Amino acid sequence: MQSHCLGKGLYRLNRQTGQALMLTPKLILPTDRQLWAHLLCRDCEQQFSSMGEDAAMRLVQRESSFSLLDRLRLSWPEVENRTTQVYSGKLAGIETGKLAYYALSVMWRAAVRRWNTLKDQTTGISLGIYEEPIRAYLAGDSDFPKDVAVALTVCMDVVSRNIVIAPWMSHYDWHPLCLLARGVWFRAFMHPRLPQAVRALCCVNGPRNPIFVENCESEILRLVDQIHKSAAVAPSLQSASAATI
């Protein structure tokens, strides 16, 4: 059966809300193409869905609602400054473990093979020594991986809430792997010597399951601009507000 790199639910949402846009290092163009391969069995696909993807798709930005942000706004932030609000996922009743599971499932899929995109290009990442511990966790054979911390940020800005960006390596301290899924920005830190301050960011094992709320527009636009510098934009591309895969 077909396995989708980013999960089938995101493609379905993008079709509902507008024309999808694919960004690669060489080309940017509207496309309905999905990144899929024959990778997982039906049971594994169902587990990925029930353990993470279904919950995540209910919470990301949809056509006219952003359930995760709406639910957080019914609660009080535990920390607030000029740029960031920090909420307790536990107190807000958010299943942060399922969101982290979804993020790691996408990153694991992106790491175990190269995925065909456009013009003979492929995309993928490396999990290094964490590929097997993450696989065991996703399969239900072990607990949440040691020395992994998944930070969860909810983006307030319109740009980030209408974009999907496949996993990429960030230049943040400790170089987390990142995934942006329609307003939900995941950063997965993986290192045997992660400082306690980084481990505390984890939405699974951090104190009270923290969820950060920020305006992420400038950071996301910088990332997209880096791709623009090396990629040709298709003449048919008319709208910069399309969902991005």
First-residue to last-residue Cα distance in the chain = 21
Ramachandran assignment for 42, one of left (phi > 0), alpha (psi -120 to 50 degrees), beta (any other)? alpha
Rg of the chain, C-alpha, whole Å: 17
C-alpha–C-alpha distance, residues 110 and 99, integer Å: 17
- pTM here is 0.85
CB atoms within 10 A of CB 167: 24
In three-state secondary structure terms, 33 is: coil
Average pLDDT over residues 227-244: 56
Return the minimum-mean-pLDDT range out of 35-39, 70-74, 164-168, 204-208.
Answer: 35-39
Instruction: Look up tokens 């997982």; give the residue.
Output: 40
What pLDDT digit, counting tens, does each position of 29-52 carry? 555 556 655 466 677 767 677 888
Number of domains in the chain: 1
Q: Residue 198: pLDDT above 90?
A: yes
Name the most confidently modeled range: 171-180, 194-203, 227-236.
194-203
* Domain extent at residue 162: 3-244
Query: In this predicted model, what pLDDT tens digit does every residue of 81-109 receive, in sequence order?
Result: 999 999 999 999 999 999 999 999 999 98
